[in-house]
Each structure stands twice: as structure tokens, then as C-alpha cells.
Amino acid sequence: MSRVLVAGATGYLGRHLVAELKARGHWVRVLARPGSRLGALEDQADDVFRGQATDVDTLTGLMDGIDIVYSSLGITRPRDGLTYRQVDYQANLNLLRLAVAASVRRFCYVSVFNGRALRHQALVGAKEAFVDALEASPLAATIIRPNGYFSDLMVFLDMARRGRVWLVGRGDVRINPISGVDLARVCCDACENGEKEVDCGGPEVLTQREIGELAFKALGKTPRFGRIPLGLLRALVRLLRWFTPVTVYGPVEFFVGAAGQTMVSPRFGRNRLADAFQEAVEPNKNTEVTQ
């Protein structure tokens, strides 16, 4: 049994990480912002440490007794006045420095698939800057690179509810998104096996159009699609970079970058996006494969 810290525990992946680590018999401490609601984590975690990862003065004692750190800490949409650089880079760097000082054995960080090629983007650049720091540190490091979460694709379900799914270009760009349950298992396996870097996605490769069709099917509605030219979106991003702060253009830049290219990575897991859509439509119907 290892003593593990999970940062980002209240997020989509973090909650699944805590559940998977506990199922494997580990002692788990979670880092949570002061005042944040933990829900089931309150009972699952062995210890809750209240602190702000962006403020190192609130983290005294966080790494006491910890063997392994798992961090999925990051933001897709800047909020509370914080930027990608402050959270995805600096907050994780704060954790890394504390982990080094406490002689933690391993640090597992969740970045993004194809991150090195996409680091010119504000969001990915912040994540990859931390990857650089982690790889240069004396700690054993494991970098996980998922290519898309089921939770991110719920936007297709939202569009389908409004009656039309908008596709980028022809809608033929492919991706194999991964569930939180399956990704948590990938993270834990990679750390246990001493992996340095793992690219990962889910078991199914889908086009944007196919994802939209799954969303309409879950709702029992006839598919209706619209198209937005990729060139128009790229021009919009260039314009936004000139006239808006990163808190505005960053999420758009990341979406357009991902939507404009095929993102197929090695396949893991058993959970299907269609089931996740169905569960979102019927919340009492749990379809996730956890074993």
C-alpha cells in the first residue's frame, strides 16, 4: 500500500482516480480548495487537505508521508481571474517543488495527447512547460496524455438538445475519447509499471459526425447538422488573440486546434461514449464498466 496525494480530485478525472486508488488498497489524501464541495470524496478519501495550489503558503504539510503524487490539476476555461500559466503550470510547479523537498517517489501528471506539437497554444503551452519542469526534476515521472474526455464531448449532447449539432468542416476528423473510469485505470497502471509516458484514448474511434449522431440517438431525436468552415474558425482565433485576453481566446484556440485534426491514440478501456450519453440523459442509469 502506498500513501498517495491526488491534486485535482474534485474534477472529472480526479474523482475517478480517487475511487480507483482506493479500490487498489492505497491510502489517499486529496487536495481541495477551501470551501469546495467534496460530495462522495468526503467518505472515500482517507485525508482531506484544504489548500490553494496556486498559493504555496497554504500547502505546508501537504506532502507529509506521501509516496506518490497524481495531478490532474488544470483548467480548460480560465475562471476566478486565474490563467493557464497560473494553474496548469505554476500550481503544479508548487506541488512538484514540495514533492521534491519531501522526497516523494513518483509524480504522475496528466497532460494532453500530442502536447509537444500543440504547445504553441496557451493552454497546452502551460501544461507542457510543467512537463518540462517535471522531466528535469529528480523525481521519477509519469506523463499521461489522453486525447479527449467523455465529459468534454457532452457539448455535443447540449447542441443536440437545442436541435442542431455544428460540425467543423465536413465533420470527418476522428478521435477516440476516453472515460474517466478507464483513464484512471491507465494512470494507476502506468505508475505501478514505472512508465515514463503513455498516450491513451478510449476503445472506439469516432468522427465528429458520428459523435453527433450518438448524441441525437441518446435523445431519441432526428439528427440535424450544420457546418462551420475550419478556415473561418482559425481566422476567428487569430482575431481573438489580437483583441481579447487569454481568458477569452484560450478555450476557443484549444477547441479549434483539437477539432481541426485527427487525434487517434492507443486504445484503452471498455467504456463507450454512447453509454455515457445515455447515462447523461437518464442519470439513474449507470452504464460505466468499472471492473
Q: Which domain holds residue 136?
A: 3-147+180-201
The whole-number pLDDT of residue 290 equals 60
| Domain-embedded: residue 192 | yes
The whole-number pLDDT of residue 242 equals 87
The whole-number pLDDT of residue 174 equals 94
| Domain-embedded: residue 131 | yes
Query: pLDDT (tens digit, 9 = 90+) per residue, 135-159?
Result: 999 999 999 999 989 999 999 999 9
The whole-number pLDDT of residue 264 equals 94
Q: What is the DSSP letter of 7?
A: E
**Continuous segment of H or E residues that includes residue 259:** helix 246-259
The whole-number pLDDT of residue 250 equals 83
| Domain-embedded: residue 172 | no
The whole-number pLDDT of residue 287 equals 60
The whole-number pLDDT of residue 288 equals 61
| Domain-embedded: residue 22 | yes
Q: Which residues, including other chains, have CB under 8 Å from residue 126's CB and lie 6 or more apart?
A: 83, 84, 85, 87, 88, 89
For 226, list phi and psi in degrees, rounded to 5. Answer: -125, 165
Query: pLDDT (tens digit, 9 = 90+) per residue, 122-134?
Result: 899 999 999 999 9
d(CA 219, CA 215): 7
The whole-number pLDDT of residue 262 equals 82
| Domain-embedded: residue 217 | no
Residues of the chain with confidence (pLDDT) below 70? 78, 284-291
Distance set, CA 116 to CA 112, 125, 141, 183 (Å): 9, 8, 17, 20
Cβ–Cβ under 8 Å, residues 51 and 95: no
What is the domain-level CATH number for residue 100? Answer: 3.40.50.720
| Domain-embedded: residue 117 | yes
| Domain-embedded: residue 227 | no
Number of helices followed by number of strands (H, E) in the chain: 11, 11
Cβ–Cβ under 8 Å, residues 30 and 8: no
d(CA 149, CA 141): 22
| Domain-embedded: residue 276 | no
Counting the structural domains of the chain, the total is 1
Q: Residue type for 107, please?
A: F
The whole-number pLDDT of residue 105 equals 97
The whole-number pLDDT of residue 20 equals 98
